[in-house]
């Protein structure tokens, strides 16, 4: 039913001018290059530098003799875990991740000046904008738990990258389960 | 059939080769290989129709390329071999860089003369590329090329993701999503001047921009009111109209060509499916029923069919849904096929797929599923192709 038309195509170039080499460099086509993003995050400076006076705030108050380390930087602290993983097409927080979220919520609730961004991600299956929505569902699920635990909304931002920033490249479940995630990112870190 | 050409090495473009490749890619023509030709006429007087009947050729195109000033003039004639008559004859002028475009215009004329439908060879595609850099970071670009993938140019570069390009009906502007400020934002960019404008930067998702057929509105996804919903923004006044209202995910709006209906993806019914709703809002109606996952619909120029992602046990494929009958035809067999976009004449669909080693490449398939062709980015992965409207 789809008739194939046979076409014989002959185009004989007849160059009239005696050509001197090629026709020269290509000039810019209608599509312009140019537009560079104004604020590419990779090029901006970090927000949380401690001023310019060289004054370092003491991390502790009161008379404790022991040197306290910020638990955020303690690899043994539950705060060291910053990634929450999810099942396929799900935003349910698994029981084993509750303690991690609680630890972060507690830490944040005690430090009103600290801010985190919850970055939601999805695996590569499905359409890209749907996965943006799915990633947002996940970051909102984590945000909701934090909110129930007393973290003010102003301390928690969320952004969904969908499938655009995979943690692991691969096209099977071993990669996908590492990509269905929410990353807890502290400002300035 | 391949099409061999012994072109003039002084010409930057083998015009016959470009025309033949265009026609072949459409799936409706089988150009005769040059070595099978019994003669090589370039003037009417040199044409011996018997030479072409002998090799079963139905139509013959002959032509000449002349340098005129800084550019070229391409003359060509199209003949019906069996009746021995000329069907079309034109002279196409081009500037020094325009020979490839002239070839696409010629292919459009031949296509339309022989099929009765407009060709879509002299059009462009926009798509996103991603390159992995040595330091582990990624470089994203929004590129625009000819519809056959030639002559790509980056119109935006970013170290953060770029997504979801959408053409304005005039073919001169693109809407797209960036994350360059660590959040999603929608920009409009003029391709002629390179200037761009930040359109939306609401809290939450700013996604899935879709330019309305009349060019004055943009359908988009925003989650500022709690969860992803479809809105329509008047571009001049920035006024927003909410179109959907549901606790599920509503995203990926696509306009019907009359501008009165919006198709979108939603999981409101449990599984992810395509729905449609009046562009002014109202009660959505489910459109897809085959399969557990249908998403990212796009509407053909005649409004009669949707191209979409359809999932089965073997992965995500491109399928075409005929709206009146409800018939779904799966066109591709990749595992990760996505982002279908119709050619403006509705005869082909360009989409993103993967090679065996996971490289993201673009592919075109005719709507009857016949002919497939792939092309890749200059470097890295290519994804999210969108076919431009007809050039005006």
**Per residue in B338-362, pLDDT tens?**
999 999 999 999 999 999 889 999 9
B238's tokens? 């920035």
Residues of A in contact with B334 (CB under 8 A): none
- The answer, for A158 touching chain B at a CB cutoff of 8 Å, is yes
Q: What is the mean pLDDT of chain B?
A: 92
Asked if residue B145 lies in contact with residue B125, where contact means CB atoms within 8 angstroms, the answer is yes
| pLDDT tens readout for residues A77-87 | 999 999 999 99
Distance of residue B191 Cα from the nearest chain A Cα, in angstroms: 5
Dist. CA A5–CA A11, nearest whole Å: 19
Backbone angles phi, psi at B179, to 5 degrees: -120, 20
Considering only the beta carbons, identify the residue of B16, B97, B252 that sits closest to A129: B252
Closest CA relative to residue B119, chosen from B42, B29, B33, B31 = B29
**Separation of alpha carbons B42 and A10, rounded Å:** 7
The predicted structure's pLDDT at residue B279: 97
Which tokens belong to B311? 């999932």
Q: Do A26 and B97 touch (CB under 8 A)?
A: yes
C-alpha span between B263 and B352 (Å, rounded): 21
- What is the average pLDDT value for chain A, to the nearest integer? 76
Q: Chain B 198-257, CB below 8 Å of chain A: which residues?
A: 204-205, 207-208, 221, 223, 227-228, 249, 251-252
Over its C-alpha atoms, chain A yields an Rg (Å, rounded) of: 27
Largest alpha-carbon pair distance within chain A?
94
With a pLDDT cut of 90, the percent of chain B lying above it is: 77
Q: Which member of B10, B63, B179 has the closest CB to residue A15?
A: B10
The proportion of chain A whose per-residue pLDDT surpasses 70, expressed as a percent, equals: 64
Q: How far is A169 from chain B (nearest CA, A)?
A: 9
Q: Is A62 on the interface with B (CB under 8 A)?
A: no
Q: What is the pLDDT of residue B290?
A: 93
CA distance A47 to A64: 31
d(CA B231, CA B239): 10
Inform me whether the pLDDT recorded for B111 exceeds 50. yes
H helices within A38-172, ranges in order?
A: 95-109, 128-148
| pLDDT tens for each residue of A89-132 | 899 999 999 999 999 999 999 999 999 999 999 999 999 999 99
CA gap B88, B75 in Å, rounded: 11
Closest CA to B362 of B145, B208, B133, B161: B145
Decide: B81 and B49 in contact? Cβ < 8 Å: yes
Give the C-alpha separation, B195 to B302, whole Å: 32
Give the helix/strand (H/E) hosting B186: strand B185-190
Region A50-65: mean pLDDT is: 42
Inspect the interface and report whether the beta carbons of B10 and A22 lie closer than 8 Å: yes
Min CA distance, B328 vs chain A (Å)? 18
Query: Which tens digit of pLDDT belongs to each residue from B48-90?
Result: 899 889 888 999 999 888 888 888 999 899 999 999 999 999 9
Chain B CB contacts of A41 under 8 Å are 159-160, 180-182
pLDDT band at B8 (very low <50, low <70, confident <90, very high): low
Q: How far apart are CA B321 and CA B354, in angstroms?
A: 23
CB-closest option in A6, A31, A159 to B153: A31
- Count of beta carbons in the 10 Å neighbourhood of residue B17: 20
Compute the average pLDDT of residues B143-166: 96
pLDDT for A46 beyond 80 = no
Q: Give the confidence band of B335 by pLDDT, cuts at 50, 70, 90.
A: very high
CA torsion, points A51, A52, A58, A59, in degrees to nearest 10? 40
C-beta atoms of A11 and B62 within 8 A? yes
* Spatial separation of the C-alpha atoms in residues A160 and A138, rounded to whole Å: 9
User: What interface predicted TM-score (ipTM) does this complex get?
Assistant: 0.92
- How confident is the model over B307-328, as a mean pLDDT? 96
Taking CB atoms and an 8 Å limit, are A17 and B67 in contact across chains?
yes
Q: Say if CB A122 and CB A179 are below 8 A apart.
A: yes
What pLDDT is stored for residue A8 in this prediction?
66
Question: pTM here?
Answer: 0.86
Q: Does A23 touch chain B (CB under 8 A)?
A: yes
Which range has the worst mean pLDDT, A133-142, B60-69, B265-274, B285-294?
B60-69
pLDDT computed for residue A39 by the predictor: 40
Whole-angstrom distance, CA of residue B55 vs CA of residue B36? 8
Per-residue model confidence (pLDDT) at position B26: 86
Shortest CB distance from B205 goes to which of A11, A136, A165? Answer: A136
- Residue A67 binned pLDDT confidence (cut-offs 50, 70, 90): low
Per-residue H/E/C for A19-57: CCCCCCCCCCCCCCCCCCCCCCHHHCCCCCCCCCCCCCC
Mapped onto helix, strand or coil, the DSSP state of residue B20 is helix
B206-245 confidence digits (pLDDT tens): 999 999 999 999 999 999 999 999 999 999 999 999 999 9
Which residues lie closer than 8 Å to B118 by C-beta, 6 or more apart? B108, B111, B112, B344, B345, B390
Other beta carbons less than 10 A from residue B56's beta carbon: 11
Please write the tens of the pLDDT for every residue from A146-180.
Answer: 999 999 999 999 999 999 999 999 989 999 999 99
């Amino acid at each position: 039913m789809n008739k194939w038309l046979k076409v014989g195509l002959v185009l004989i170039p007849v160059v009239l001018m005696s050509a001197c080499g090629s026709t020269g460099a290509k000039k810019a086509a209608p599509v312009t290059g140019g537009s560079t993003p104004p604020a590419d995050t990779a090029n901006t400076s970090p927000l949380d530098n401690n001023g310019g006076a060289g004054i370092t705030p003491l991390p502790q108050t009161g008379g404790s003799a022991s040197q306290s380390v910020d638990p955020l930087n303690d690899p043994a602290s539950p705060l060291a875990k910053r990634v929450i993983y999810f099942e396929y097409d799900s935003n349910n927080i698994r029981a084993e991740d509750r303690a991690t979220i609680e630890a972060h919520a507690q830490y944040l609730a005690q430090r009103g000046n600290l801010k985190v961004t919850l970055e939601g991600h999805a695996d590569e299956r499905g359409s890209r904008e749907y996965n943006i929505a799915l990633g947002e569902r996940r970051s909102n699920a984590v945000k909701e738990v934090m909110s129930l635990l007393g973290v003010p909304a102003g301390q928690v931002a969320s952004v969904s990258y969908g499938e655009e920033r995979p943690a692991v490249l691969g096209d099977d479940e071993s990669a996908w389960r590492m990509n269905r995630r929410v990353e807890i990112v502290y400002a300035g870190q | 059939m391949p099409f061999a050409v012994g072109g003039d090495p002084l010409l930057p473009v083998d015009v016959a080769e470009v025309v033949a490749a265009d026609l072949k890619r459409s799936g409706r023509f089988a150009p005769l290989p040059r070595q099978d030709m019994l003669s090589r006429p370039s003037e009417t007087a040199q044409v011996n129709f018997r030479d072409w009947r002998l090799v079963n050729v139905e139509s013959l195109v002959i032509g000449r390329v002349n340098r005129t000033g800084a550019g070229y003039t391409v003359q060509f004639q199209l003949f019906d071999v069996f009746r021995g008559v000329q069907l079309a004859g034109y002279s196409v002028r081009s500037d020094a860089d325009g020979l490839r475009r002239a070839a696409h215009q010629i292919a459009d004329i031949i296509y339309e003369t022989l099929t009765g439908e407009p060709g879509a060879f002299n059009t462009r595609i926009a798509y996103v590329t991603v390159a992995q850099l040595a330091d582990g970071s990624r470089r994203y670009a929004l590129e625009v090329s000819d519809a056959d993938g030639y002559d790509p140019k980056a119109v935006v570069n970013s170290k953060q993701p770029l997504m979801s390009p959408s053409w304005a009906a005039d073919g001169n502007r693109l809407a797209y999503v960036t994350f360059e400020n660590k959040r999603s934002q929608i920009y409009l960019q003029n391709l002629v001047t390179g200037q761009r404008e930040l359109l939306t930067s609401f809290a939450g998702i700013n996604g899935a921009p879709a330019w309305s057929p009349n060019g004055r509105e943009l359908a988009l996804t925003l989650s500022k009111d709690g969860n992803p919903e479809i809105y329509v923004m008047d571009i001049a006044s920035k006024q927003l109209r909410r179109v959907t209202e549901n606790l599920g995910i509503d995203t990926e709006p696509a306009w019907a060509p009359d501008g009165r209906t919006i198709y979108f993806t939603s999981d409101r019914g449990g599984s992810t499916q395509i729905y449609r709703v009046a562009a002014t809002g109202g009660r959505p109606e489910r459109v897809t029923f085959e399969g557990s996952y249908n998403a990212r619909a796009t509407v053909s120029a005649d409004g009669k069919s949707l191209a979409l992602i359809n999932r089965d046990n073997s992965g995500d494929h491109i399928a075409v849904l005929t709206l009146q009958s409800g018939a779904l035809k799966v066109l591709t067999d990749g595992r990760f096929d996505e982002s279908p976009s119709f050619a403006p004449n509705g005869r082909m669909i360009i989409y993103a797929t993967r090679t065996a080693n996971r490289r993201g490449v673009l592919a075109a398939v005719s709507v009857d599923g016949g002919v497939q062709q792939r092309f890749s980015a200059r470097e890295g992965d290519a994804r999210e192709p969108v076919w431009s409207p007809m050039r005006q």
